[in-house]
Structure 1
Amino acid sequence: MTQRIGWYVHHHGRGHLTRMLVIARHLGREIDCFSSLPRPDDLPPGISWTVLPRDDHPAPSLPQDDPTVGGILHWAPLRHEGHRSRFAAMAAAVATGRIGAFVVDVSVEVTLFLRLLGIPVIAITQPGERVDEAHRLGYAMASRIVAPWSHELYAPAHLTALGDRVAFVGGISRFADRVPDPRRRTDAIVLLGGGGGTAVSADDVAAAERATGRPWTLLGAGAGQWRADPFAAISTADVVVSWCGQNAVADLAAADARAIVIPQDRPFDEQAATAAALGGSGLAVALERWPDANRWPELLDRARALQPDWDAWRVRGAAQRAAREIEAVIAP
């Protein structure tokens, strides 16, 4: 029996799902996905989907029921039916013996639980200061850790200390195989938002439009019209203004975009760390927060002057490299 791959897909935003779908193209195995997200309408053949109950609604009702267990974990509420049921569903799948390894993107608790069941885990990590006790426990439990960015541009000490268990595979983009055409560049300004939420308001964007004297194309949840395939828009734009999620940055790299990146508030300063790496390497104009409206003309001029070498983010072949890391664990 060819062993299948289990895959835990975190429900926050769209990036974890997108990353799974991109890597799955390069795996010669069927995949059993587990997530609190609804089953995607366009799920490819060979990928099953189990919808897990949420474990954060309702929140723990008793103040003494610390879901972090004193900081050892991130979230493990006591007496919560949803929490019990989601782990029971994954345990039942493992008990069949058909799953040879599990990709976890992302959860310390799921990583720990699956390892205790005797299943090797490939943990997909994210940028930021992940040096707390829970993350250290999760990293210790993983057979392999996949970091989807370039080691040359961002190598946090807590990951490099783990040696060859960490694979910096490069940015994973669904557009990695496309080639942008610089001759098609327009004078458009595109705001590329993500699905994870933002503090930037419609009034903020309207003020930026007025300051620059031309309309912006707004793409992404929380930023305007969601577009399933934004590649044409971001690869032909004069400048792309973007948040700093891992998928968004990888897409900017694939599109060879001239970009202004603005980190949104995320746990462990994930997007702030990514923005610092991009700004320090000259790949993008990196800000700390949404700027005052009167700064936008100067910021756009700075972005237009960039000549970013996006090859440094190692998007080409990243999904294939991630797939090889998974295969190495399931079939050593």
Structure 2
Amino acid sequence: MTESIGWYVHHHGRGHLTRLLSIAPHVDADIRCFSSLPRPDMLPFHCTWTMVDRDDEVAGDGGDPRDADPTAGGLLHWAPLGHRGHRGRMSAIVASLADDPVDAFVVDVSVEVTLLVRLLGFRVVLIAQPGARDDSAHHLAFQAATTIVAPWPRSLLEPAHLAAFGNKTVYTGGISRYEARLATPPPTSPRGDDIVVLGGAGGSAVSGGDIASAAQATGRRWHDLGATPDATWSADPWGELTTAGAVVSWAGQNAIADLAAAETPAIVIPQERPFAEQRETARALEQAGLAIVIPEWPERSAWSSLIERATNLRPDWDRWEVRGAAARAARAICETAGGCR
């Protein structure tokens, strides 16, 4: 039976780490994590954490990795020539696996780590993302992976780039950190009038002034939960999600899964991300009638109508398949590894 799982956690934003923390409690095996992020305070007891070097910072000699052929002529996404941080992080993973092999290795996300681990002869579980990922580097990673985990419902979003890999792709439904709280359903009493803006660590072009202007236009209290640099980050916005009249959110995978868990009326504004991943997610939500979707932050005069439309929406968030999603992801990982204890 499986004794050990490796897990690479990408350092951009908070979503990859949040996904690990949601799935790990369902994996009955030791998990060895590798990331440039600091060790999280709430790391489960059966997980260890190895902090690896950053590969996207200017080198000590002043060299910018963006100028060091990081894509190898389009074959890869990020492997800058001569960069000490890149070499150090890859070497740390190799050294760990050489001394103490794992039964499978989860990559969330990196084409280069996927290929590295597969070249070392380990089964790879690659966490997929939506968007236009039909480039050669992504295709190479999908080919190399043993299993692909897509953390959203197949019935609502089946990207073209995964169509050729349907035999090894597991669509789990949206993975939310709040799934465990679904044993106690969200309040059924009428929601309040407050509006919550749910941001993410990936950045946006929205300012505090934009939110203040929208609040004045609607005559409601607005709460900025991480949407702008000046906002106070909320580590646990469950209370706000379950009581707000509506939530204005970006279209990141974790944010949408949390909205689904809280059954929240939402206005979704996809942000610019690589490969247009948020725009594809937003289109799926709009087609399914789960949220009001707009392409960008609107003019002040549009907000009253948008809020009214959102509060009158009755989304069937069960269609995002949050219940059991983390366990389904864990099962796919364990089955790839040969079965967990």
TM-score, reference length from structure 2: 0.94
Q: Is residue 237 from structure 1 mapped to residue 244 from structure 2 by the alignment?
A: yes
Instruction: Name the aligned partner's letter for residue 330 of structure 2.
Output: A
Match of 2:3 in 1: 3
Shift of 1:61: 4.4
Matches within 5 A, 1:115-154: 115-154=118-157
Match of 1:112 in 2: 115
Shift of 1:203: 1.3
Contact between 1:195 and 1:222, CA under 8 Å: does it hold in 2?
no
CA distance in 1, matches of 2:187, 2:18: 24
CA distance in 2, matches of 1:58, 1:64: 10
Moved over 4 A (4+): 59-64
Aligned-CA RMSD value: 1.5
Q: Is residue 181 from structure 1 mapped to residue 187 from structure 2 by the alignment?
A: yes
Instruction: Name the aligned partner's letter for residue 101 of structure 1.
Output: A
What stretches of structure 2 of length at least 5 have no aligned partner? none
CA distance in 2, matches of 1:269, 1:24: 28
Match of 1:50 in 2: 50
Shift of 1:66: 1.1
Q: Secondary structure at the match of 1:183?
A: coil
- Of the three residues 87, 94, 99, the one matched with 1:96 is 99
Match of 2:302 in 1: 295
Match of 1:305 in 2: 312
CA distance in 1, matches of 2:65, 2:258: 43
CA distance in 1, matches of 2:176, 2:65: 42
Match of 1:260 in 2: 267
User: Could you give the per-residue CA deviations for residues 218-250 of structure 1, whole angstroms, max 9, x where no partner exists?
Assistant: 112636221121111111111000011100000
Contact between 2:56 and 2:65, CA under 8 Å: does it hold in 1?
no
Q: Is residue 194 from structure 1 mapped to residue 197 from structure 2 by the alignment?
A: no
User: Could you give the per-residue CA deviations for residues 94-116 of structure 1, whole angstroms, max 9, x where no partner exists?
Assistant: 11233111000000000011000
Contact between 1:111 and 1:141, CA under 8 Å: does it hold in 2?
yes
Q: Secondary structure at the match of 1:25?
A: helix
Match of 1:167 in 2: 170
Paired residues, number:
332
CA distance in 1, matches of 2:287, 2:32: 39
What stretches of structure 1 of length at least 5 have no aligned partner? none
Matches within 5 A, 1:198-209: 198-209=204-215
Q: Is residue 217 from structure 1 mapped to residue 223 from structure 2 by the alignment?
A: yes
Identity percentage of aligned residues: 56
Q: Secondary structure at the match of 2:103?
A: strand
CA distance in 2, matches of 1:287, 1:242: 11
